[in-house]
Chain A
């Protein structure tokens, strides 16, 4: 994919040490993101995985400027993203968010045509010399696999199947000719049979348009299906990241190992069912944030580093786009490579 390589440096969206805080009604501060690093380059598919409450959707929203970070920054094409309306609008033309739940995300009173044309109108992309609005909408619908597009122009969301609605949402994003798509759980509400079709569409768009894709999902099978790289989040931080093959066939972090072991039909792994759920983000555990649920610590496997696990917090995992890294004292003690302490210095 040589066309992709040329655009790689130009279309790069990254989060660096991003922290997002929400104040709860009782006045406590919940840290939805607590120093998250991630980079998505043009032409690559990155999967952001984690349980509910891991902060993956918040990170996706922060990347398109829908949530303002309390600390850290979002960089687009090498420059820090400004918070003014103009730079956000420019970013959102090039980086499009595809929401989960297509029935909720489409306006029930807008026709397919209007839903897709809305972005074109907002960004004033129809010029006198270029293609007409109708042509652009038709082109976007066909790129999303809805053919013939004219037949769908006047349909309403309730007249479409789930798969068609998801394609209309993707067409709405494609109409703006974005460089990156951020898809939040693109197939979780779809039937098994439709799921593969939508994933194949994302891969086709990457191949044909050189599109970069960030898929937010809790589904490791999906990541295995389409992602080049994977980043695993836990309680507001990326705890393991690397090439999909490496992370999913040789996971380092005990959390990733547990997630992988409970994927149905993973016969070769003994299921490690973690107790409870992700802790309350207003009370992030000290030391390693995963230690209260860590199976390695509970089983005694991590005895040698138990004090570190309980008492010493881990640095932010840097968003190295080529390596395989994890934020775990046990892994660090085995590899005996010093951890990058950049994150620590910021605290």
Chain B
């Protein structure tokens, strides 16, 4: 890192939401005509102190969406639309501003975090790196104190700073990743499948850390997962994506308990409520495989797997329509 100057976040526009994504399209160039459209027109807003969940299966574009928020998409991606962070468009901002927004404005806890730590550096040194880059000239002792605070915040012993990643369990590594994401006091944390590789008790511990954080420090969080039941527990709002588009969004409990879109319904049913007699010996699945974004069918892209599909689904892709209580869904069959 050259010319390490204290990074200053671009001034926040008053009244602007923490994160506002408008009509985002991301297409990967594959050498074939048309490329691979991973995200096809997504709108999403995260306010301060709010947890927004994005649900969907592999290939639905949810991780592409996450990386685009900090302009981390691979070079073969073409991005159109707008991503406003505190009112400033991330996609067009100057490199220096973008650098300040990364870590200090918004940080990402990546999926597969268990492999994201450098195996040959101690934990403390890895947490120190973003702090030193963003606020250079801090003395050693202050950084060490800060690392201790961060580790305590995620429920780890400050002594752990001296450990190497292999000395930690999966849950502990995931907490280190969260501690790192918090190092520069970001306003927004993007968590991509933060608990997927963890078992239930550790998952509960990590989720408690995350929700305490949002409550105590008023940060906003965008949480990505394929597990709708986890999102329903933690989030204020849930957005369900299918084949690169939003098919349903609304208050978390409502989307989980009374989904409007058949795909959201399938995701919700995939995780049974323990104790529900209807789920005994009746695992709910969704036939078929996720669609290939290069070969989407005409009309509703979910129609080939949808039990309710009818002729009305075929002419055009359904538009996201607003229903009562802030709910939206893209399905022509709703209300029929």
Contacts and interface: CB of A to CB of B under 8 A. Distances in A.
B287 interface: yes
A225 interface: yes
A264 B233 contact: yes
Interface stretch (B84-92, B199-207, B311-319): B199-207
Contact of A277 (B171, B266, B286, B290): B171
16 contacts: A51-B202, A52-B199, A162-B58, A193-B286, A195-B270, A196-B285, A198-B285, A203-B281, A219-B200, A220-B200, A221-B229, A248-B275, A262-B203, A264-B227, A265-B256, A271-B204
Given A192-B270, A249-B275, A273-B204, 12 more contacts: A53-B169, A194-B285, A197-B283, A220-B200, A224-B276, A225-B282, A248-B274, A262-B200, A264-B233, A265-B273, A275-B205, A277-B172
A74 interface: no
Interface residues on A, range: 35 or more
B281 A226 contact: yes
Interface string A212-227: 0000001111001110
A144 to B, nearest CB: 14
Contacts of A200: 283, 285
B204 A262 contact: yes
A266 interface: yes
Interface of B: 57-58, 169-172, 199-205, 208, 226-230, 232-233, 256, 266-267, 269-276, 279-287, 289-290
A82 to B, nearest CB: 34
Nearest to A228: B281
A215 to B, nearest CB: 12
A199 interface: yes
A164 B270 CA distance: 18
Contacts of A53: 169
A163, A164, A194 interface centre (most CB from chain B within 10 Å): A194
Contacts of B232: 264-265
A225 B204 CA distance: 21
Interface string A237-267: 0000000110011000000001110111110
A3 interface: no
Contact of A193 (B267, B274, B276, B279): B267
B270 A274 contact: no
B283 A226 contact: yes
Interface of A: 51-53, 161-164, 191-200, 203, 218-221, 224-226, 244-245, 248-249, 258-260, 262-266, 268, 271, 273-275, 277
Contacts of B267: 192-193
Contacts of A161: 289-290
Contacts of B229: 221, 263-265
Given A225-B282, A226-B281, A277-B202, A264 B289 contact: no
A277 B272 CA distance: 26
A203 to B, nearest CB: 6
A225 B169 contact: no
A192 B226 contact: yes
Contact of A52 (B170, B275, B276): B170
B207 to A, nearest CB: 8
A219 B199 CA distance: 8
B272 A221 contact: yes
Contacts of A264: 227, 229-230, 232-233, 271
B275 A225 contact: no
B200, B205, B227, B230 interface centre (most CB from chain A within 10 Å): B200
A105 to B, nearest CB: 17
B200 A51 contact: yes
A193 B202 contact: no
A218 B275 contact: no
Contacts of B290: 161, 191, 193
B311 to A, nearest CB: 24
B83 to A, nearest CB: 26
Nearest to A202: B283
A197 B285 contact: yes
A197 B172 CA distance: 33
B226 A274 contact: no
Contacts of A192: 57, 226-228, 267, 270-271
